[in-house]
Chains A and B, each alone.
Chain A
Amino acid sequence: MNWLTDPLLSHGFFRHGLAAGLLGGALCGLVGVFVVLKRMSYIGHGLSHAIFGGAAVAYVLNANFYLGAGAWGFLSALLINGVARRRKIGADAAIGVVTTASFAIGVWLISSVHRFTVNLEAALFGNILGVTLEQIYVLIGVLVVIAAIIFLRYRQLLFATFDPEAADAYGVNVRRSETVLALMLAATIVATMQALGVTLIAATIVVPAVIARLLTDSFARMLVWSTTIGAVAGVVGMYVSYYWNPPPGAAIVLILAGVFALVYLGTAITGRRRLRVLDAETHTDVAGPAVLEH
Chain B
Amino acid sequence: MKKRKLGRGVSVIGAGMTKFGMYKNKDSKDLFAEAFKETIASVDKGFNPNEIDALYLGNFTNDFFVHQSHWAPIISDLIGVVPKPATRTEGACASSALAFREGVFAIASGFYDIVLVGGVEEMSKSSTEEVAEGLALATVSYEGKVGFTFPGVFGVIATSYFDKYGASHRDLMNVTIKSHNNAPLNPKAQIPFTIRDMMNQKIKRAEAKGRPAPEWEDEIAFLSDPLVNPPVAWPMHLYDCCPISDGASCMILAAEDIAHNFTDKPLNVIGIGQGSGRGLHSAPSMTSFEATKNAAQEAYGMSGLTPADIQFAEVHDCFSMAEIVHTEDLGFFKEGEGYKAVGDGLTRLDGPMPINTSGGLKSKGHPVGATGTSQLVEVWKQLRNEAGKRQIKNKDLTIGAAHNLGGTGGTCTYTILERR
- Do the two chains belong together in a single complex? no
